[in-house]
Structure 1
Amino acid sequence: MSFILRDATLSDIPVITGIYRESVLNGVASYEMTPPGEAEMASRFSVITGKGYPYIAAIDTDGVLLGYAYASAFRTRTAYRFMVEDSIYLAPEARGRGVGKALLSELILRCTDLGFRQMVAVIGGAHPASVAVHRAAGFEHGGLMKGTGFKHGRWLDTIIMQLALGEGLTSDPEPGLYPDTLYRS
């Protein structure tokens, strides 16, 4: 499958909303039960990109959006400012074709370039494909939380995986790097 990666834009929101809707209704990656509409998805997009986090789209050669990925704050307390959480969602026809791996790889590069030091994946439903793509990217198992959600008539576990970015925790962050501007308390 041939595709390119580019920054997602507000004009992508209708397709992004559809991809996320399918995931909410049929999958376990999101613990939301009711899919949000376009206005809510546009608001979420604006909050994430407005804070300077990367939001990436994968587009096939026909211009069809296959999936998207973004980084966002893991937590909003200031001490967490060098850690991001990744999110990846794919259209059903894009799954198992390297799109998720490419999106994650690009997200890792962009977050490293922005000065973040840790990336965490919070994998709902302990989804095997998501675990595999994160493991292939170098993420390590950080923990298992049993029975964190109840969806589709069953209890779901959540797996936490973590990847050090750049120098990770081997050095102090330099003052003035990008994440310092995200949170002020």
Structure 2
Amino acid sequence: MNIRASHREDFKDIARIYAEGLDTGVASFETEIPDWNTWNEKFLPACRYVVETKDKLVVGWCALSAVSKREVYKGVAEVTIYIAEEARGQGVGKALLSHLIKSSEQEGFWTLQAGIFPKNQASLALHKQCGFRVIGIRERPAQRNGKWYDNVLMERRSKQTGIH
């Protein structure tokens, strides 16, 4: 597998993988795939990656979004990571998230956060394997298709960047 920076040309694959995640019902509060401009505005320019198979098939992507526009939080970002259905359980997520963590530290991020549905056991386990810890449960912060869901808030503090 090859992890590389994502480009606009990858958006078709990113959208396909995102749709597969949304179809699980436990990946996001979102229910629709955004267009390129909306997706591009949501995520920071740094630390956008895709993972490809040896046949150049994109099977995963990740990106960071700012948690705040305030200068004091410039080193804190929220992680988004999605793995294609056919590549789940094969170590793709761990490789991609590990790469994202290392790259984020090089870009000056000292805290990464993730909000994960409690039923998404695979994502919770992946984040724990990569050094995230549960810092709380947001009780029913939002609805998905008219139903309220809790959200597990996880965090990873860098041991390389910022105060540790």
Q: Same fold by TM-score, threshold 0.5 exceeded?
A: yes
Q: Distance in 1 between matches of 2:114 and 2:40?
A: 19
CA contact (8 A) 2:105 2:161 kept: no
Q: Distance in 1 between matches of 2:12 and 2:45?
A: 21
1:174 matched residue in structure 2: none
Alignment of 1:1-185 (within 5 A): 3-36=1-34, 40-45=35-40, 48=43, 51-151=44-144, 154-165=147-158, 166-170=160-164
Q: Distance in 1 between matches of 2:66 and 2:119?
A: 21
CA contact (8 A) 1:73 1:84 kept: yes
Indicate the structure (1 or 2) with the bigger Cα radius of gyration: 1
Q: What amino acid maps onto 1:4 in structure 2?
A: N
CA contact (8 A) 1:126 1:159 kept: no
Q: Distance in 1 between matches of 2:68 and 2:156?
A: 16
Long gaps (5+) in structure 2: none
Q: Distance in 1 between matches of 2:90 and 2:136?
A: 27
Q: What amino acid maps onto 2:104 in structure 1?
A: C
Deviation of 1:151 (Å): 3.1
CA contact (8 A) 2:42 2:65 kept: no
Deviation of 1:153 (Å): 6.9
1:181 matched residue in structure 2: none
Q: What amino acid maps onto 1:25 in structure 2?
A: D
Q: Distance in 2 between matches of 1:24 and 1:83?
A: 25
The SS at the match of 1:54 is coil
The SS at the match of 1:105 is helix
For normalisation by structure 1, the TM-score amounts to 0.80
Aligned length: 163
Q: What amino acid maps onto 2:114 in structure 1?
A: A
Q: What amino acid maps onto 1:9 in structure 2?
A: H
For normalisation by structure 2, the TM-score amounts to 0.89
Q: Distance in 1 between matches of 2:76 and 2:41?
A: 20
CA contact (8 A) 2:111 2:156 kept: yes
Deviation of 1:143 (Å): 0.7
